[in-house]
Amino acid sequence: MGVAGFVKTTLQDWEGKSSCLISLGGCNLRCPYCNRPGLMERGGDMDTAPILGYIKENRDFLEAAVVSGGEPTMDEGLYRLLGELKKLKLKVKVDTNGCFPDVLDDIVGARLADKVCVNVMAPLDDASYSRAAGTEVDARLIRRSLDILRGSEAPYEIRTVIVPGVVTHESFVRMLKDLDGTRSMVIQQFDPRGAAGPMASAVPYPVPALVRMAETAKGYIERVRVRGV
């Protein structure tokens, strides 16, 4: 199990829920704008026992756990961790990049997640996706993950970071066409803090550009929110 980070309480990672955040190290993608570059490589070695102990002790105010990354569905210990969190009667959200549909299918099928958030970063074709992800991606995997979630009872949402130079209004509209019928989307403002390399000095789009994207998104998606502005 590669636990690389633990935040005891956060109100930002699951809207309306007092949550803890468990981050698993390691990711198959190399997004140039990643704001957790330290979690791309495997290497988390935190012991889960004290984390679960803390949750147990503070269960009266902690409603939920968010399991994030890196990419948590790469970690073989994920099922066990989710099972332990469910035993503690927490609501559980899993954040994923959607590249491992079989794992997602198992998690959703076993009702180990009460919510799934998929980071979708580009239109769902190999060329666009690979450019955004900084490595080769078979976009059919992301499509399959989305199909699994559409066919499941688990609530899910799409999160898209509006990265300058990576997401344009035109590419965003193409992406929306691929996501047509999705119930919930978060349009996330890019935050250069924490990004590595040239992206650390990239200037986020002005707020009106994100608001315009949100208005466009409402033509395809039921519930659209803008976050981080």
Q: Name the site residues for ligand SF4 (rule: CB under 6 A).
A: 27, 29-31, 34, 36, 39-40, 69-71, 97, 119
Return the number of the residue (62 or 73) whose C-beta is nearest ligand SF4. Answer: 73
Question: CB 129 → ligand SF4: shortest distance, Å?
Answer: 11
For residue 87, which of 50, 109, 59, 45 has the smallest C-alpha distance? 59
Question: CB 121 → ligand SF4: shortest distance, Å?
Answer: 7
Question: CB 49 → ligand SF4: shortest distance, Å?
Answer: 25
Question: CB 206 → ligand SF4: shortest distance, Å?
Answer: 22
Cβ atoms of 81 and 69 closer than 8 Å: no
Return the number of the residue (38 or 155) whose C-beta is nearest ligand SF4. Answer: 38
Question: CB 31 → ligand SF4: shortest distance, Å?
Answer: 3
Question: CB 176 → ligand SF4: shortest distance, Å?
Answer: 20
Return the number of the residue (180 or 201) whose C-beta is nearest ligand SF4. Answer: 201
Return the number of the residue (62 or 137) whose C-beta is nearest ligand SF4. Answer: 137
Return the number of the residue (195 or 217) whose C-beta is nearest ligand SF4. Answer: 195
Token pair 């978060």 is found at: 186
d(CA 103, CA 84): 17
Return the number of the residue (39 or 187) whose C-beta is nearest ligand SF4. Answer: 39
